[in-house]
Structure 1
């Protein structure tokens, strides 16, 4: 049994070489892994027979197509809500603010999960609530990380209606805020969906490097004064990153 375990470990060590290398020769695998050549040869032949490695015409090896199928299965079966929820609870408990998870649906953002603050005064949000992509930090972070042409088309074709006193209704201003969000990796909003409310949001990435959701903390505007923002921004970006890693995103 122990011998079988050692074989599996060595096979995994070989496969892990391809995290950072697209194609490798046998000799390159030996040099990088420091595993004896005979052992590498046996492992590679077994992995090739199972379809886990494929040898090109020039003799170099790469990961087999089976990984595409397996990777897609894993991605398809990941429920972003289940993945995110423990991190959302932890963030709420550490920072004391409500935490929301939002995804895009057409030209709107929809709240798919929330963790309420334990404070007596709360904002009104609910799972299933919708908001336009231009309004509010969490919605706008999705707009900011859409393909540029698609985002510009949305802005050009959308009437920016005021929802609350701070809603951005000027298209040039919206474009500026989007550029800032792309540069900084987060978005902040004040009284955009509800007066006297504020939010800070960061994007969540999937295994393909695509933004698939937005994570936000939201609360009373007084809790998001400029001098109080740095720790909020740090934590929302950190938590969004942790969720992204669980979804298979590689931090490069």
Structure 2
């Protein structure tokens, strides 16, 4: 790779992470300030960085445009968009679309909830492989050998007391989710959030993406989130059909949860 290109990419990465002054950028790269300034001017002329009145550098509009174009070229995102928005409007909750990027699960689209309390996530960020419904769905599309290999490499960070703690537990949950056609994050990533996810299939019959609905437990109980499964299933079936999938995908509703007794008022 050209040295100038490598340095320019390093500068762009640093700017994206908040390193914003000429001095700090030069120090971080170990390159003389005049060289850094020349590279920044080139990036600025193409819209990849911008400079404010305090001479602080920020990511430019060209980066966001490039990212958006790259996302839009992923057919599943373009095809799914109207259905995701309809699902968000129907449920009023946060809807995610996720797909594999290598062996990382990435959120590639999101519909924000109408609720004031929302799940923190962002398009382009990775989803925890052991603590999100979308990741369990996508892992369910792997063959046994790949699933074993990926599960063995996961960093099993304990986000809550409900987080899956090891590869055997993750593999069992992934296989259970694949068999019934939906996965859950039952307060596994955040203690106040429940989530259900379902697969999107491509024309080749393989899992192409995953869609999830996430709800704070102050808005809906766990049982209430499970009640959203038919709407989620309808959405993923519609997207799969748009992608050319023909066939029957597994979908088994959970048994009804026991109703808690009503406490009489005095």
What is the TM-score normalised by the length of structure 1?
Answer: 0.65
Contact 2:139 2:147 in 1 (8 A): yes
SS for the counterpart of 1:118 is coil
1:127 Cα deviation after fit: 0.7
Q: 1:166 to 1:91 in 2, by over 3 A?
A: same
The C-alpha deviation readout for 1:9-30, integer Å capped at 9, x for no partner, is xxxxxxxxxxxxxxxxxxxxxx
In the other structure, the counterpart of 1:162 is 158
Say what the alpha-carbon RMSD is for the aligned residues: 1.8
Q: 1:213 aligns with which of 189, 206, 209?
A: 209
- What are structure 2's unaligned runs of at least 5 residues? 1-72, 249-266
1:169 Cα deviation after fit: 1.1
In the other structure, the counterpart of 2:118 is 122
1:235 Cα deviation after fit: 1.3
More helix by share: 1
Q: Establish whether residue 199 from structure 1 lines up as the match of residue 195 from structure 2.
A: yes
Contact 2:129 2:154 in 1 (8 A): no
1:209 Cα deviation after fit: 0.5
1:238 Cα deviation after fit: 1.5
The C-alpha deviation readout for 1:128-166, integer Å capped at 9, x for no partner, is 111232221111111122122110111123332223443
Q: Distance in 2 between matches of 1:176 and 1:225?
A: 25
What is the total number of aligned residue pairs between the two structures? 176
What is the TM-score normalised by the length of structure 2?
Answer: 0.62
Q: Distance in 2 between matches of 1:251 and 1:222?
A: 38
1:234 Cα deviation after fit: 1.2
Contact 1:204 1:244 in 2 (8 A): yes
Contact 1:181 1:187 in 2 (8 A): yes
The C-alpha deviation readout for 1:73-122, integer Å capped at 9, x for no partner, is xxxx7721121111011111111111000001123210110000112221
In the other structure, the counterpart of 2:170 is 174
